[in-house]
Chain A
Amino acid sequence: GAGVSQTPSNKVTEKGKYVELRCDPISGHTALYWYRQSLGQGPEFLIYFQGTGAADDSGLPNDRFFAVRPEGSVSTLKIQRTERGDSAVYLCASSRAGGRGDTQYFGPGTRLTVL
């Protein structure tokens, strides 16, 4: 079956603009995660969804970042008033149920560049 897909693969925007990043998880996976990977760093947790609800958004850096998953499948990460420091690869992952032994499958990421 298809893996996790993310669109767009690349996004270039200007400082102050609004962007939306989309994630299509593996079909049937109830758990969905967003991570951010800055240059030279490992992925950093942002938010975790179980079904439609954000079970843990403690990793979101500030209130410019918001994510939704209205039907429990596709998720959108929204960033308002983008800053140059937001430039990174945004990774989405999904897992079957969200438990600890549950393997997280990652998408290829969206590379966001804020000029």
Chain B
Amino acid sequence: DQQVKQNSPSLSVQEGRISILNCDYTNSMFDYFLWYKKYPAEGPTFLISISSIKDKNEDGRFTVFLNKSAKHLSLHIVPSQPGDSAVYFCAASAESGYALNFGKGTSLLVTP
């Protein structure tokens, strides 16, 4: 059973606009959330994380929002650039810490 869900397999956005990638989780024990970015033939690269004690974390063009009551998080990329085109994975871990539970990923295409 998938405990981390990314219901949009793909997303296309114009350069300069905002990209919003969504993620839902079912396990209430999850309290640490991460986004990874993956280019073809490469391993996932860490992008940004958020702890459940926060509802927002920002790093440059990337912001992650967490809504614990809805068990939902989102990644905002503003402004989107063609180099952002990649597969984005949402991941979560419980207090035990080490094993990451990944969603299936959302393929983002940023068009010029």
Binding site for B on A (CB under 8 A): 4, 31, 33, 35, 40-45, 48, 55-56, 58-59, 91, 93, 98-101, 103-109
Contacts and interface: CB of A to CB of B under 8 A. Distances in A.
Contacts of A40: 104
Given A33-B99, A45-B101, A100-B32, 17 more contacts: A33-B100, A35-B100, A41-B104, A42-B6, A42-B91, A42-B103, A42-B105, A48-B98, A55-B98, A56-B99, A100-B95, A101-B32, A101-B49, A104-B46, A106-B43, A106-B45, A107-B43
A101 to B, nearest CB: 7
Nearest to B4: A42
24 contacts: A33-B98, A40-B104, A41-B104, A42-B91, A42-B104, A43-B102, A44-B102, A45-B99, A48-B98, A56-B99, A58-B99, A91-B44, A98-B98, A99-B97, A101-B51, A104-B46, A104-B100, A105-B43, A105-B46, A106-B43, A106-B45, A107-B43, A108-B42, A108-B43
Interface string B26-52: 000000100010000111111001010
Interface residues of B, number: 25
A59 B42 CA distance: 23
B104 A43 contact: no
B75 to A, nearest CB: 15
Contacts of A91: 43-44
Contacts, number: 62
B43 A4 contact: yes
A67 to B, nearest CB: 14
B74 interface: no
Q: Among the interface residues A31, A42, A58, A93, which one has the most CB atoms of the partner chain B within 10 A?
A: A42
B89 interface: yes
Nearest to B45: A106
A100 B10 CA distance: 29
A43 B44 contact: yes
B93 interface: yes
